[in-house]
Chains A and B, each alone.
Chain A
Amino acid sequence: MNPTRRGPADAALLLLVSAVVALFALPLVGLALRAPWGELAARLQSETVREALWLSAWCATAATACSLVLGLPVAVWLAAGAGPVRSAVRVLVTLPMVLPPVVGGIALLVAFGRNGIVGAWLLQWFGIALPFTSAGVVLAATWVAMPFFVLTAEAGLRSFDRRFADAASTLGAGRWRTFRTVTLPLVLPSLRAGLVVAWARALGEFGATITFAGNLAGHTRTMPLAVYVALESEPEAAIVLSLLLVALSAALLFALRDRWWPAR
């Protein structure tokens, strides 16, 4: 068979890919066409946009950090074996991926709200109330984003070749040292990919945030909330904010595509 010849199957595949590309590209094109380019600069410099952008960036980053710190031990434990307990925990941790985020927001309120199971206790003993605070935004974003990290990290850890860990132990490395110097570096691509997905998910988080943390400019109004609010008052502003969010995410994913995203 001549490898340079294109069969009808190739053409069909190309057509399908083009259709899918159009599906993803057209909404962006639509945004770009409707954008009020003339007033773009002025709108981007507005207090509202700067506040929302800054809040979104640091909350998404904090949520990603929480996902790493809390999610990695869970992923390690999940990857270390099988059984009904692990399966149950995996389902529990994965649930936020499939639940509507608004449901998550209500669930968080019931758990961590002022009258929540844990929230009432937190308020009584420590005077901490999470709803309507930036910490609440981080909690909501962590709740929806961490599953993405845990699952990706677990898959990476599961595909890790135990034989390298064995080799390390014969050289005198204990469990922690082996994990730190062999396992972790070898699963790093998976962890990075997991962090990128988690960050992207946290950045786009809307439902759980507005339900649990509310919508207050400068404190809990992240970019997606700002887009929503703007949509109700001035749709042009919503388009500008959406474009900004798209550009920001695309630029980041593109810049990190080689180092953080396993391209090959």
Chain B
Amino acid sequence: MTLNAKLVLRRGALDLDVEFEVGAGETLALVGPNGAGKSTCLHAIAGLVPLSAGQVRLAGDVFDEPSRGVRVPAEARGAGVVFQEHRLFPHLTALDNTAYGLRCRGAARSAARASARAWLERFGLGAVAEALPRALSGGQAQRVALARALAAGPRLLLLDEPLAAVDATARLELRRELRAHMASFAGPRILVAHDALDAFAFADRIAVLEHGRIVQSGTVAEICSRPRSRYVADLVGTNLLRGVVEGGVLRLPGGGALVVAGSASGDVVATVHPRAIALFRQRPDGSPRNVWSAPITFVEAAGDRMRVQLGGAVPLVAEVTPAAVAELGLARGGDVWVAIKATEIALDPI
């Protein structure tokens, strides 16, 4: 079950024209500056905003195709949406909010409530089932919102900055939970992320939107290594690596490993600032715990600095001065020694 979307519309100052595809069990993250049209994409797919041209298709079903006059109303699309500000119905309890979609699909009140209760318990929200949304914390409310969307049995899942309205302390745990619940959803998933960390934590692929156009899309690694616009460069200005920490060692999917500091364990996103990566002609002596030789895959200028892209098992981008590039004789195709202190690798559990 694949979602194909070509979205063309105008809305105020926004002139949106994008095209993408999301497979079953795949998560696409839409990132970009404010006003780029990320949320509008979600709303158009959900059927809350009309297209002026293009097509939205899920598997064989056409949801929207203005040229043929096709427009399936939002309530018939089966798109589970988690909004930025949870949008829980203020007059209904967490339980009745969660049961709402099931009731719409014709479930009897008692059956809908039983199912909703099971969903809330799965989200650790059994204790607040009878609470009204105003009595819930930001994190609880967003969990209920996800439970409500999933309980309705959607065919695709759309999340609009689900962590934006949650305070920093709750965000960590919520991010971990959301990831787990999203992973258990089998259909296409689209996430709007304002924060690079969220995008990298959740997504298989990323599409970068600027001024209503996709300026770059690809896997996380592709985006990181070759940022094609200033926004993307700033966004991924830092190296983000997803991996698993075990006994002080971060193991990366590509087989690489880095020694890290701190007590974190499990799934993480590791952040390494490009300027914290030191490059040498010869194997350096001294304290760095992580030292290896890596092939140089690309060298480019970024302002007054040079970005050196490193291949191998630990894909990274280092930033050095132009003088250092000349002195070290760095060029595409050559090898270089890389050193990173364990303390320069920041870890965010996901």
Question: Does chain A touch chain B in the assembled complex, meaning CB atoms less than 8 Å apart?
Answer: yes
Q: Mark A residues whose CB is within 8 Å of B.
A: 163-164, 166-174, 177, 181-182, 185-186
User: Do the beta carbons of A170 and B74 come within 8 Å of each other?
Assistant: yes
User: Do the beta carbons of B100 and A171 come within 8 Å of each other?
Assistant: yes
User: Do the beta carbons of B89 and A182 come within 8 Å of each other?
Assistant: yes
A168 and B149 alpha carbons, distance in the complex (Å): 10
Indicate which residue in A163, A171, A174, A182 contacts B101 across the interface (CB closer than 8 Å): A171
Indicate whether B117 reaches chain A with its CB closer than 8 angstroms.
no
A174-B152 contact, Cβ under 8 Å, with A167-B81, A167-B83, A186-B90: no
| Chain B residues with CB below 8 A from A181, complex form | 100
CB distance from A188 to the nearest CB of B (A): 8
User: Do the beta carbons of A171 and B152 come within 8 Å of each other?
Assistant: yes
CB distance from A169 to the nearest CB of B (A): 4
Indicate which residue in A166, A177, A182 contacts B74 across the interface (CB closer than 8 Å): A166
Sample of 28 A–B contacts (CB below 8 Å): A163-B87, A166-B74, A167-B81, A167-B83, A168-B104, A169-B47, A169-B48, A169-B75, A170-B46, A170-B74, A170-B77, A170-B79, A171-B100, A171-B104, A171-B152, A172-B75, A172-B76, A172-B78, A172-B105, A173-B75, A173-B100, A174-B73, A174-B75, A177-B104, A182-B89, A185-B91, A186-B89, A186-B91
Best-surrounded residue of A163, A170, A172 (most CB of chain B within 10 A): A170
Indicate whether B113 reaches chain A with its CB closer than 8 angstroms.
no
User: Do the beta carbons of A172 and B89 come within 8 Å of each other?
Assistant: no
CB distance from B90 to the nearest CB of A (A): 7
B62-83 residues at the A interface, CB under 8 angstroms: 73-81, 83
Q: How large is the interface on B (under 10, 10 to 19, 20 to 34, 35 or more residues)?
A: 20 to 34
| Chain B residues with CB below 8 A from A168, complex form | 89, 100, 104
Query: In the complex, which residue of chain A has the Cβ closest to the Cβ of B79?
Result: A170
Indicate whether B189 reaches chain A with its CB closer than 8 angstroms.
no
Indicate which residue in B46, B73, B80, B87 contacts A164 across the interface (CB closer than 8 Å): B87
CB distance from A249 to the nearest CB of B (A): 30
**Apart from A170-B77, A173-B100, 16 more pairs, CB < 8 Å:** A163-B87, A166-B48, A166-B87, A168-B100, A169-B47, A169-B73, A170-B74, A170-B79, A171-B100, A171-B101, A171-B152, A172-B75, A173-B75, A181-B100, A182-B89, A185-B89
Indicate which residue in B48, B89, B91 contacts A170 across the interface (CB closer than 8 Å): B48
| Chain A residues with CB below 8 A from B75, complex form | 169-174
User: Do the beta carbons of A172 and B81 come within 8 Å of each other?
Assistant: no
A186 and B100 alpha carbons, distance in the complex (Å): 15
Indicate whether B251 reaches chain A with its CB closer than 8 angstroms.
no
| Chain A residues with CB below 8 A from B83, complex form | 163, 167
A186 and B133 alpha carbons, distance in the complex (Å): 14
A167-B89 contact, Cβ under 8 Å, with A172-B75, A174-B75, A177-B104: yes
